[in-house]
Copies of this chain bind each other. A is one copy, B any other.
Amino acid sequence: MDTPAFQDFYPDDAGQCYGCGRFNARGHRLRTRWDGDETVTRFTPEPFHTAVPGVVYGGLLASLVDCHGTGSAAGAGYRAEGREPGTEPPLRYVTAALRVEYLKPTPLGPELEIRGRILEVKGRKVVVAVRVLCGGVETVRGEVIAVRMPEGMVAKGPAAAS
């Protein structure tokens, strides 16, 4: 399965994100797609992404929740406008707020599955519920409030959100 991901359609200047930018060679390059009404991203942490031995670092898990959330928001934005990713104008969201609950230790080693459910699409705002699963077991639960990046934020430099 190598269908395009939402991040493949980010404008070039918005493709530098450490979490999900396709041009960031040092980053995680997350790729998010629809799976029915949910969104899914897969990611295998590196051996050095450790919290205590054998457990995935919580900051990395927060990053996965964050970028899966903004990627899912882009997908939801296109769907709400009744058009496909790749059509103009491109949609790119940034995070306004992030909440992460660590339900149990996430084992370090296996590929993780990050799944999103769109809770709300309202104007420029999208709210996404996110789960991280390891071997089918939910270890992390989170929520992302994403807002559409203002036009020209990249070209003009930082203007409205992180």
Contacts and interface: CB of A to CB of B under 8 A. Distances in A.
Nearest to A149: B52
Contact of A59 (B14, B59, B161): B59
Contacts of A161: 102, 104-105
A15 to B, nearest CB: 9
A131 to B, nearest CB: 14
- Total identical chains: 2
A97 to B, nearest CB: 5
A101 to B, nearest CB: 5
Contacts of A18: 48-51, 57, 59-60
Interface of A: 13-14, 16-19, 21, 24-27, 46, 48-64, 66-67, 94-102, 104-107, 139-140, 149, 153-154, 157-162
18 contacts: A18-B48, A18-B50, A18-B57, A19-B58, A24-B50, A52-B94, A52-B153, A53-B154, A55-B158, A55-B162, A60-B63, A98-B101, A99-B99, A102-B161, A105-B160, A106-B162, A107-B158, A140-B162
